[in-house]
Amino acid sequence: MSHKATHQFSITQPEKFWQKQAQELTWNKFPKTILSKNKLGFYHWFEDGEINMSYLCLDYHIENGRGNQIALIYDSPVSNTVQKYTYNELKTEVAKFAGGLSSLGITKGDTVIIYMPMIPQAIISMLACARIGAIHSVVFGGFASHELAVRIDDCKPKAIVTATYGIEIDRVLSYTPLVKNAIEESEYKPPYTIVYNRKQHEVVNELNDSIDFETLKNNSQEINCVFLKSTDPLYILYTSGTTGKPKGVLRDHGGYATALKFSMSHFYDAQPSDVFFAASDLGWVVGHSFITYGPLIQGCTTVLYEGKPIKTPDAGAFWRLIEEYKVKIMFTAPTAIRAIKKEDPDALFLKKYNISSLKTLFLAGERCDITTYNWIVDLLNRPVIDHWWQTESGWPMLGIMTGVEPLPAKAGSAGLPVCGYDIQILDEDGKYVDDGKEGLISIKLPLPPGCLNTLWNNDARFKNGYLTQFEGYYTTGDGGYKDTDGYFFVMGRVDDVINVAGHRLSTGEMEEIISTHHSIAECAVVGMNDELKGQVPLAFVVLKDWQLISEIDLEKELVTLIRNKIGAIACLKNVVVVKRLPKTRSGKILRKTLRSMADFSEIIIPSTIEDITVLDEINDKLKIYVLNK
**What is the per-residue pLDDT across 454-512, written as a single tens digit (0 to 9) for each?**
999 999 999 999 999 999 999 998 999 999 999 999 987 776 677 776 566 778 878 98
CA nearest to 114, candidates 162, 164, 75: 162
Statement to judge: residues 258 and 405 lie in one domain: yes
Instruction: Give all strands (DSSP E) within 326-472, no chain letters.
Output: 329-332, 360-363, 384-386, 398-399, 416-417, 422-426, 439-444
Q: What is the pLDDT of residue 530?
A: 79
CA nearest to 255, candidates 457, 446, 44: 44
Q: What is the pLDDT of residue 512?
A: 86
Query: By residue range, what is the domain housing residue 320?
Result: 308-386
Element (H, E) at 18: helix 14-22
CATH of the domain at 359: 3.40.50.980
CB 591 within 8 A of CB 609: no
Q: What is the pLDDT of residue 503?
A: 65
Last residue of a domain, one of 341, 369, 386: 386
54 inside domain: yes
- Beta bridge partner(s), residue 45: 35
Statement to judge: residues 356 and 225 lie in one domain: no
161 inside domain: yes
Three-class DSSP category at 614? helix
Q: What is the pLDDT of residue 366?
A: 81
- CA 401, distance to chain mean position in Å, is 19
Residue 564 burial by CB count (10 A; 0-12/13-18/19+): exposed, middle or buried?
exposed
Three-class DSSP category at 487? coil
Q: At 226, phi and psi to the nearest 5?
A: -100, 120
Number of domain units in the chain: 3
Statement to judge: residues 224 and 94 lie in one domain: yes
Question: How far is residue 552's CA from residue 544's CA, in Å, rounded to a whole number?
Answer: 16
Element (H, E) at 372: helix 370-380
Q: Is 502 left (phi over 0), alpha (psi -120 to 50) or beta?
A: left
Statement to judge: residues 302 and 326 lie in one domain: no
206 inside domain: yes
Statement to judge: residues 378 and 394 lie in one domain: no
CA nearest to 239, candidates 397, 421, 462: 462
Q: At 580, phi and psi to the nearest 5?
A: -160, 165
Q: At 76, phi and psi to the nearest 5?
A: -130, 90
pTM, whole model, 2 decimals? 0.87
32 inside domain: yes
| Residue numbers in the chain where pLDDT is lower than 50 | 242-243
Helices (H) then strands (E): counts for the chain: 20, 31
Statement to judge: residues 373 and 440 lie in one domain: no
CA nearest to 101, candidates 136, 71, 74: 136
Statement to judge: residues 377 and 401 lie in one domain: no
Distant-in-sequence contacts of 420-428, Cβ < 8 A, 24+ apart: 420/10, 420/11, 420/14, 420/17, 420/18, 420/259, 420/447, 420/448, 420/449, 421/397, 421/447, 421/448, 422/11, 423/397, 423/398, 423/488, 424/473, 425/480, 425/481, 425/482, 425/488, 426/470, 426/473
CA nearest to 293, candidates 325, 335, 251, 321: 251
CB 373 within 8 A of CB 384: yes
Statement to judge: residues 509 and 594 lie in one domain: yes
492 inside domain: no
* In 186-252, alpha helices (H): 213-218
